[in-house]
Amino acid sequence: MYLSIKQGSIFVADSHYNQKNRQFLLFLKKLENKEIKTTQLFLMGDMIDFISGESKYFIKRNIEILELLNKLSNEIEIIYLEGNHDYNLKTLFPNINVIKRENQPVLGKLNNKTVILFQTQGAELNSEHSITAFARAASYLGENCKVLGTFASQGKINPAMLERRKNADKNDPHAATPRNLERWQKASMHPNEEDFSRAKEFVKAMQRKIALREKYLNMKK
């Protein structure tokens, strides 16, 4: 299955929305209020801590976010890839392109574009994980795409995921070792004001880079 990725698309994954972790709802409200603008939204699975089309209890528990997603689907294209925490969703979202897990993975087509890659992560910024994550993302770009720049910031890891990692086998690289516990604590303080400031400066630098690139290309004509 191929999906056409539009200019300015937004991808969101693993928000694990619940009553204590409401960042995903805040993001959707910014879309509703036009503080964030896009014509296409990809939801990459596990957006809600748990939801199933058959569970009346969890439908009622998450009704606010379900209604908001349906409202937004009348204005923008939403593609929802089901995860292992959110499934059998088609009956809940009549206007959303819901892709079941058995029909995944899907391939997105983005060709002849200049892109900037952003990521937040629990890992250290100069870690192998951080570098390979950018490399993997770039490898999925289509023909004649150019990566203009990359920006990474540490970010708080979902508490539910950390609880699971505390019970991981000691040989698991994500186990709760002293080193990982220290890293998780550090990540919990990000993104902070310094990160936001870096992001703003990065965007300005990319804008200058684009302007210089266009000027150079125009001179060659």
The residue count of the chain comes to 221
Residue 19 contacts by C-beta under 8 Å, 6 or more apart in sequence? Answer: none
Per-residue pLDDT band for 141 (boundaries 50, 70, 90) equals confident
At 140 the pLDDT is 77
Read off the pTM.
0.59
**CA-closest candidate to residue 3, choices 104, 146, 76, 92:** 104
Of 40-44, 49-53, 169-173, which gets the smallest average pLDDT? 169-173
At 43 the pLDDT is 96
Maximal C-alpha separation, the chain:
63
- Under a CB-based contact definition with an 8 Å cutoff, are residues 52 and 87 in contact? yes
Find the helix or strand (DSSP H, E) in which 119 lies: strand 114-121
pLDDT in tens, 94-139: 999 999 999 998 877 777 888 899 998 888 888 888 899 899 888 8
Say if residue 41's pLDDT is above 80. Answer: yes
Report cis status (omega within 30 of 0) of the bond before 173: no
Region 27-33 average pLDDT = 97
At 1 the pLDDT is 61
Per-residue pLDDT band for 174 (boundaries 50, 70, 90) equals confident
Region 19-44 average pLDDT = 94
CA 157 to chain centre: 13
First-to-last alpha carbon distance for the chain, in angstroms, is: 39
At 117 the pLDDT is 92
